[in-house]
Amino acid sequence: MAKKVQVRRVYDAPIRGDGARVLVDRIWPRGLTKTKADLDEWCKKVAPSTELRKWYSHDPERFEEFSRRYHVELSQPERSDALAHLRALAKDRTLTLLTATKQPEISEAEVLAKMLRD
């Protein structure tokens, strides 16, 4: 069982209690340096496929269907290995999943956080 999994924007300054900071987007955030991002790692293998990301386009009305399709993608070997890695990171410390989206509550990071908390 995960200790604590939270979702934050990668553009927000790190705060005490973030624990392991992991970017889960496939594409590097625009205008952000590696230093400023202050990441522990970039786990792009867990990100949704380009096709799914483009179809979804962060449309709130598509979030439920996006979540369903993303769960299916997460069962594919490469992504399931990456998900297992995140699970291991979250096992004994706080894990902060980072995304560049303006609405992290309807992002792949939120879908992942919910899966890791369950």
Q: Where are the domains of the chain?
A: 4-117
Question: Are 86 and 116 within 8 A, CB to CB?
Answer: yes
Structure tokens, 65: 């269907």
Q: What does each of the 118 residues of the chain score in pLDDT, given as a tens digit?
A: 557 999 999 999 999 999 999 999 999 999 999 999 999 999 999 999 999 999 999 999 999 999 999 999 999 999 999 999 999 999 989 999 999 999 999 999 999 999 999 8
Q: What is the pLDDT of residue 2?
A: 53
Q: What pLDDT, in 10s, does the model give residues 43-76? A: 999 999 999 999 999 999 999 999 999 999 999 9
The CA radius of gyration of the chain, in Å to the nearest whole number, is 13
Beta bridge partners of 20: 95
